[in-house]
Amino acid sequence: DIQMTQSPASLSASLEEIVTITCQASQDIGNYLSWYQQKPGKSPQLLIHSATSLADGVPSRFSGSRSGTQYSLKINRLQVEDTGIYYCLQHYSAPLTFGSGTKLEIK
């Protein structure tokens, strides 16, 4: 199975700050990487797919990038509504595997 190592586990940042979350894949997964945001009691919401493509309706302050087998989610100008848990997902091969999650809080 492909392992996705996500960091950091938690993050506290100020409004308007820039934050970055990373996922390291245990092998090549190409651009088959998505990012999700999950709020308490809600289902995950797609933010980024294909490593760098913004999902429909997602604010442009979210962006994704790739360097080899390392993938990053960047949030520019952090807003209050960005609190939640963020997960990466590799969908290159079955079984699909998620990162362990990053809990983002506002200071």
Applying CB under 8 A, the residues found at the interface with other proteins are: 32, 34, 42-46, 49-50, 55, 87, 89, 91, 94-101
Say how many C-beta atoms besides its own lie within 10 A of residue 64's C-beta.
22
Q: Please report how close the Cβ of residue 103 comes to other proteins at its closest, in angstroms.
A: 11
Query: Rounded distance, CA 81 to CA 4, Å?
Result: 26
If the CB atoms of residues 14 and 95 are measured against other proteins, the closer one turns out to be: 95
How far is it, in rounded angstroms, from Cα 75 to Cα 79? Answer: 9
Nearest-approach distance from CB 34 to other proteins, in angstroms: 6
CA angle 40, 46, 49 (to 5 degrees): 150
Least separation, in Å, of the C-beta of 104 and other proteins? 15
